[in-house]
Every structure is written in structure tokens, then in C-alpha cells.
Amino acid sequence: MIDITNKSILITGGTGSLGKALTKRILAECPDLRRLIIFSRDEQKQYQMAQEYPVNEYPQLRFFIGDVRDKERLIRAFRGVDYIIHAAAMKHVPIAEYNPDECIKTNVIGAQNVINACLETNVQKVVALSTDKACAPINLYGATKLTSDKLFIAANNIKGDNPIIFSVVRYGNVMGSNGSVIPFFLKKRGEGKLPITDPNMTRFNISLDGGVDMVLHALDNAWGGEIFVPKIPSYKITDVASAIGPNCEQVVVGIRPGEKVHEEMITPSDSFYTYDLGKYYTILPATHKWNIEEFKHKFNAKLVPRGFAYNSGENTEWETIDTLKKLIREHVDSTFEN
């Protein structure tokens, strides 16, 4: 893990699932951290989170109410901060489709505000969270996150002599996160029926711990402009339903607006710039200021074959009903029984 002794970290959207997992890991493993700032606009979630981390036990933890739509508030919050993890976003696909202007204000304008605030303060590194829906997007949420990705990548080209580094991490569904399918099915199974959008639907799956690992890897290893992509398994939506409610009827309700049957994280067009790093792939920026040969040597990076693609339907690694049951007990609900 990156050495953050006497450093300050700020997490936008820090009261979300990943923000809380990052907080738990950072506080546990980095007791000499100078400050960890939770920046979000939900005062109730901040209040609840503060109860878990009393100030007498965690004096380095701060809570800062603010919205990424407000650049001036970001500048104030970023003063004295070394590292930014940008997790704030509007994430619900149907809600974004119905409220497109609100989604754009948070996911696009908010991203640019974060970039500008970083450039106007002394932030050293920024890791922005993306989503598989940003790859060849068909919904507004994905389109705004693709735009956000492009903004953070391009920020490395407009920083002048500022040594700041911007990078992006892109991953699939986080197991057990707010609004994800597993908690939804766990609540619905008592009704005896589980709604299936499409029986062929697949998704990538990553645990909260896996997401935290990836963010910290990017924070430690980014050179500027990379999109890091994890090698993670896929699951079939019908297998998730069978794992959670084996006796439930699976009712096909149809795909919601803006949904794909299979999610993508790397397209064939990305293959020209995509390198295999072992545990992760990384999509390099078409324009960068560092030496590609030095990069390949340092990380033993190998260019993927031309035309390579990475999507949840053609993945080579899959969760089974049995492994899903185990993962639910480990990462979502320790009391889970089916």
C-alpha cells in the first residue's frame, strides 16, 4: 500500500459504500495518517458514519459537508490535502435517464470542478472512480462517466508544470453496494418471486475489498492518464437469483431503459492502448508525457492483442451458484442462509 504517513486524503462521496470501505482500510492500516476527510452532501449519512468513528478514537478523521457542483467549496476542502479519491456520482441508471440535467451537473460539471480545484490547490494525486457503464455507453449515466473519465485523463495535459497526477479506475458491480442487485434480491426473496430483467444478463463482480485494493493500487502506481481495469469474474443474473432464492420463481420483467445484457470494460478500439499488468489491465492515454518503454519495463506491461475486448458475457472467469453463496456470506450478510 502507498505510504501515506503524515499525508492528508479526501474522499468525495465518502459516505458511499466504497468510501466507507476505503475509510475502514485506511484507518486500520495507516495510523500515522495526518487527516482523512469525508466530503459529501448528505448530512445524515455523515452523522451516522461519525457515530462509528468517535473523535476521541479517530482524531485524524474529518467530515466536510459539500457538493462537487460547488467549486469554491471544493477549493476550501482541498487546501492542505495531498491525495483525492473522487467517488461522488449520480449512479442509478433509470434516475439519470429521467433527470439528465441533474446527472450531468454532478458527474460532468462536478468532475471538472474537482479537476479545477485540484489544480488551484496543492493536491499531488487524484484517482477518479469510473464504471463499466462508461465503456461504449448506451445510457446517460455511462455517457457522463465516460465524459468524466476523458476529463480526468486530459487534465494531465493541461496541468503545465504542476506535478499532480490524475488517473481513473474502472470496475464492475460492487458486491453488496447500495442499490446493487444482491441486497435487492435478499429483500425480495421473502415474496417468493425475484424479478429478472433478462435471463441472459451477465455482470462483472468485484468485492468492496477488491475495489479498495484497486484504488490504492492506482494511487500508488499511476503515472498519469491511465484507466485501470481489474481482472474479475462475471456472474449470470439467474445464478445470483438461484443462490439467494433457490425456491423463488424467477419472473422475467424486461430490460430497463439504458441497460445492456452484457457489460463491457475494454472495447476492441481500446486494444491499441491497453496493456496487461498481471492483476490489472490499464488503458493508456493516447497522449502522455512519460516514456512508454520505461513504463513497460517498470510494470512488465504487455500490449494486448489487437482487437482484444473484455466484457462480462465473454469472460473466461465465472462465479457459480456455490461461490456466490460463499461471497454473499463473506461480503454482504454473514447470517445469509438459503
Q: Which amino acid is at 194?
A: L
Map residue 138 onto helix, strand or coil.
coil
How far apart are alpha carbons 172 and 170 in whole angstroms?
A: 7
Cβ neighbors of 334 (< 8 A, separation 6 or more) are none
Q: Which of 41, 136, 141, 132 is nearest to 90 (CA)?
A: 141
Annotated catalytic residue: which of 20, 71, 91, 133?
133
How far apart are alpha carbons 119 and 159 in whole angstroms?
A: 7
**91 catalytic residue (yes or no):** no
Map residue 107 onto helix, strand or coil.
helix
Q: Which residue has the cell 480526468?
A: 152
Q: Which bin fits 276, alpha (ψ -120 to 50), beta or left (φ > 0)?
A: beta
Q: Which residues of 47-81 are buried (b: 16+ CB within 10 A; e: fewer)?
A: eebbeebeeeebebbbbbebbbeebebbeebbeeb
Residue numbers annotated as active site: 133
